[in-house]
Amino acid sequence: MSQTRPSSIREIATKLGVSTATVSNALRGTGRVSSALAAQIRVEADRLGYVPDHAARALRTGKSNTIGLLVPNIGQPLFPAFAQAVERAAKRRGLAVLIGDSQGDPQQQDFEIRTMIARGVDALIVIPTRGTTIAPADVPVPVAVIDSAATVGNIAASDHREGGRLIAHHLLEIGHDRLLILAGPENSLVACERVEGMREVFRHAGVEPALRYSDATFEAGSALGRELDLRHFTACAAAYDALAIGFAIAVKDRGCSIPEDMSLTGFDDLMWAQIVSPPLTTVRQDLETVANHALAFVAGETDTSRIFPTELVLRQSTARPSAFAKGGRHAE
């Protein structure tokens, strides 16, 4: 389909009657090459459309300028956003990103890690799946784990616990005291942090919320919204937007309207959160900053683990409990 095959450093060298070493040095600004000659070389390289062979360079230097990013499930809307943030941060450093999807399966995760290592990635950024732990010692390249402050080996994460506190404070502040927490998967440290943050604050206020565990999916939220007895609660705090959104749709079908009959909060500020009706009060992570720190770590620019602040996003899914709702007799 094309003619543009070769064009190597040797071609430039012979064409200009110099050595390949000089060409290599000129093109990369290393060693000593007179600027006049260097300029000539660059011009010739351009003219020939020379592009260094990546494999050859990688072979010699042992660096592929590629990092692997492992996400638990690219189908869940938070992770494409993460991937984008990582790609932007990587591009700034001249790195390419190989994306792998563990599809929620720890074995698949191991497989992906091995594959990526075999492909010569210089570093890995891993968002672990289902509470697994990656021992960076098992892996011959730097690994940045992005999960939660509670995750062993975590390098960068949002402050999920603080996010939970923000939600809880907000709900208390507007007068809620009978609470349901959709806690997400029991084995997820991220979910656990979020929930613990909420509970801390509630407990401190003498409120003991009810807890329900489930998957972090829309469907699980929807199922809970259909099954639970809503009369006991004035507000529901979900550990994930998807959960909250599924819940919202389901309870709406039962005649429970948000926020009049019940306030509802999510977590993550997915694009959906502003789209659903009513728009969801939630917590936003600063993915860009988290991604950037993870990259700085694997690039060796820092060796500290960092937790980044989150932000409460107030929308229309939360309101003061109505006297009616407080009476515990809303539509059922």
Where along the sequence are the contacts to its own copies (CB under 8 A)?
Answer: 1-2, 4-5, 51-56, 58-59, 64, 66, 74-75, 77, 79-81, 83-84, 87, 96-101, 114-120, 136-143, 218, 245-246, 249, 252, 271-272, 275-277
Min. distance of Cβ 57 from DNA in angstroms? 4
243: left (phi over 0), alpha (psi -120 to 50) or beta: alpha
Min. distance of Cβ 25 from its own copies in angstroms? 20
66 binds, among DNA, its own copies, none (CB under 5 to 8 A by kind): its own copies
Nearest to 70 by CA among 26, 132, 13, 15: 132
Min. distance of Cβ 194 from its own copies in angstroms? 22
24 binds, among its own copies, DNA, none (CB under 5 to 8 A by kind): DNA
Task: Give all strands (DSSP E) within the chain, no chain letters.
Answer: 66-71, 96-101, 123-126, 143-146, 154-158, 179-184, 210-213, 235-238, 263-265, 282-284, 306-308, 311-313
CA distances from 318 to 67, 170, 175, 255, 256 (A): 41, 9, 11, 17, 14
Nearest to 211 by CA among 190, 196, 201: 196
Residues that bind DNA (CB under 7 A): 6, 8-10, 17-22, 24-25, 27-28, 30-34, 36-38, 50, 52-53, 56-57, 59-61
State the DSSP H helix or E strand holding residue 114, giving kind and residue range, or none if neither: helix 106-118
Q: In terms of CB distance, is 233 or 297 closer to its own copies?
A: 297
Q: How far apart are CA 127 and CA 147, in angstroms?
A: 6
Token representation of residue 187:
């084995």
Q: In terms of CB distance, is 187 or 277 closer to its own copies?
A: 277
Nearest to 78 by CA among 244, 311, 287: 287
38 binds, among its own copies, DNA, none (CB under 5 to 8 A by kind): DNA
Min. distance of Cβ 64 from DNA in angstroms? 12
Q: In terms of CB distance, is 106 or 120 closer to DNA?
A: 120
174 binds, among its own copies, DNA, none (CB under 5 to 8 A by kind): none
332 binds, among DNA, its own copies, none (CB under 5 to 8 A by kind): none
